[in-house]
């Protein structure tokens, strides 16, 4: 099973700042099958990025994904108030698919 480790656990930033979230895999992620989700309190997860760097439909271009192999990054270029939430990475190239433990992005 591929273990995904996200860092930091909590990130405290202000609106307008840039956020960089990390996701490290215990082994190489097959075929770049790496996604990022946003989850606001009381809501279901929302797909942001798939295939490492492809934005899902309707996702603003301030969200971007990058990386390869075992190291991946979600960048939010300029934080909006609605971006403060929990973010999860997911690998879906190897069975079982797995999620990271999440990074909480909070307002500083």
Residues in contact with another protein by CB under 8 A are 31, 33, 35, 37, 39, 43-47, 50-51, 56-57, 88, 90, 92-93, 95-102
10 or 101: CB nearest another protein: 101
Task: Return the structure tokens found at 26.
Answer: 């215990």
The CB-of-16 to another protein minimum distance in angstroms stands at: 28
14 or 43: CB nearest another protein: 43
Question: Could you tell me if 64 and 75 are in contact, meaning their C-beta atoms sit under 8 angstroms apart?
Answer: yes
38 or 76: CB nearest another protein: 38
The CB-of-64 to another protein minimum distance in angstroms stands at: 16
Q: DSSP for 15-63?
A: TTS-EEEEEEESSPPGGG-EEEEEE-TTS--EEEEETTTEEPTT--TTE
């Amino acid at each position: 099973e591929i273990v995904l480790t996200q860092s930091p656990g909590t990130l405290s930033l202000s609106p307008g700042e840039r956020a960089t979230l990390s996701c490290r895999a215990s082994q190489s992620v097959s075929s770049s099958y790496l996604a990022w989700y946003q989850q606001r309190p009381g809501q279901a997860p929302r797909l942001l990025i798939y295939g490492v760097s492809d934005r899902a439909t309707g996702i603003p271009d301030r969200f971007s994904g990058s990386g390869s192999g075992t190291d991946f990054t979600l960048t939010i270029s300029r934080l909006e108030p609605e971006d403060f939430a929990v973010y999860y990475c997911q690998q879906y190239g190897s069975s079982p698919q797995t999620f990271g433990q999440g990074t909480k992005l909070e307002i500083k």
